[in-house]
Amino acid sequence: MSKPLVTPKGIASYPHLDQPDTAFGQNAYKVTLILDASDPEVVELLNALDQLVDESLEAAKKDAKPAQKAKIGTNPPYEQELDDNGDPTGNVIIKFKQNAEINGEPVEIAVVDAKKNRLHGVRVGAGSTIRVGFTTRPYCMKGSAGITRDLRAVQLLNLVEKESSFGFDEEDGFTAAPEATADDADF
């Protein structure tokens, strides 16, 4: 595991920070971060990530059989964001993930506010402005070297809460009675 890294501020996309994503057999916390590729802090982060990938590639080649060394490629840790026409937007996307359990023990992703106060029960939604704390690990599998981006913590700078109303506005019309309690029972 590397020393912890922290991203510059960016926009959260598909955040699963309060509960793990369990779709398709997964059980992981994750978030995709959209960053402005022209920001000097972002350029510095991307250069650091590229260096870590280069180190992973060198380690993979060192351990590979001579015939396999030339075949080992890299898996980039970020990608360009594309618009609906497939054109670059000027942003980069970095995906972060952390298994919800490690060796059978539950993992929690720390979420803090701008002043580093710990938050609980906050439903961070897409569009929130965040910074991500993460670590990396080198890997080489199926002839491709790269680094993991292991999600550790999130600093919440501007909250866009997840919607729990399915996008509906309140309307005039049928309203269900509140659920009955034991005190309301007729027996």
Could you tell me whether strands 144-158 and 110-112 are parallel, antiparallel, or unpaired per DSSP bridges?
Answer: parallel
- Give the largest Cα separation in the chain, rounded: 82
Query: Each residue's pLDDT tens digit in the chain (187 positions)?
Result: 578 999 999 999 999 999 999 999 899 999 999 999 999 999 999 999 999 999 999 999 988 888 888 889 999 999 999 999 999 999 999 999 999 999 999 999 999 999 999 999 899 999 999 999 999 999 998 889 999 999 999 999 999 988 765 667 778 888 776 654 444 444 3
Q: Which residue segments constitute the domains of the chain, with CATH numbers given?
A: 5-164 (2.40.50.140)
For residue 127, count other CB atoms closer than 10 A to its CB: 14
pTM for the model stands at: 0.84
Overall size of the chain counted in residues: 187
Residue 100 phi/psi, 5-degree rounding, is -75, -15
